[in-house]
């Protein structure tokens, strides 16, 4: 399978982006990039838990939308276009109270005006915690 990215990007370049903004506050970090997917992690801690002591569903959605949006922006020419979230849904399958969750983001559709991403979030034991689908609109800068 050929690479979907506009150019070769390193984990360091991706983490430089993630270290800023909300993703930095939630300690979201990219851990792998291959020819067609990006993997990122987020700790389950006091920043990401809801009052009942488990991972907040909104934090899972932030992880999914962030890694999917970055993926879209790595596909397009950054001098001409930008990718912005258009729609996201998430099914929360099981609670996670501690540790690290890992999101794997893969493309479902890469069109000229929209990208659709499948994001699967699992706990450290590999149990699926959340399935999310993100649609990103590709617009001129």
* Helix or strand holding residue 138 (H, E): strand 128-140
Is residue 65 among the annotated active site residues?
yes
Could you tell me which residues are beta bridge partners of residue 43?
Answer: 100
Q: Residue 71 burial by CB count (10 A; 0-12/13-18/19+): exposed, middle or buried?
A: buried
Q: Would you tell me how many other CB atoms lie within 10 Å of the CB of residue 137?
A: 15
One of 12, 27, 65, 87 is an active-site residue; which one? Answer: 65
Alpha helices of 48-128 — where are they, by DSSP H?
Answer: 57-75
**Cα separation, 113 vs 99, whole angstroms:** 37
Q: What are the start-end ranges of the H helices in the chain?
A: 11-18, 21-25, 57-75
Reduced to 3 states, what is the DSSP secondary structure of residue 68? helix
Provide the annotated active-site residues: 65
């Amino acid at each position: 399978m050929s690479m979907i990215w506009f150019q070769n990007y390193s984990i360091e370049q991706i983490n430089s982006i993630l270290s800023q903004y909300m993703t930095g506050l939630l300690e979201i970090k990219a851990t792998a990039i291959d020819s067609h997917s990006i993997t990122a992690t987020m700790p389950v801690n006091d920043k990401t838990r809801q009052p009942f002591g488990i991972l907040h569903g909104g934090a899972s959605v932030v992880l999914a939308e962030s890694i999917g949006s970055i993926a879209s922006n790595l596909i397009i020419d950054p001098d001409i276009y930008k990718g912005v979230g258009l729609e996201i849904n998430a099914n929360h399958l099981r609670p996670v109270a501690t540790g690290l969750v890992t999101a794997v983001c893969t493309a479902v559709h890469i069109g000229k005006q929209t990208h659709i991403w499948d994001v699967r979030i699992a706990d450290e034991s590999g149990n699926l915690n959340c399935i999310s689908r993100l649609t990103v609109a590709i617009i001129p800068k």
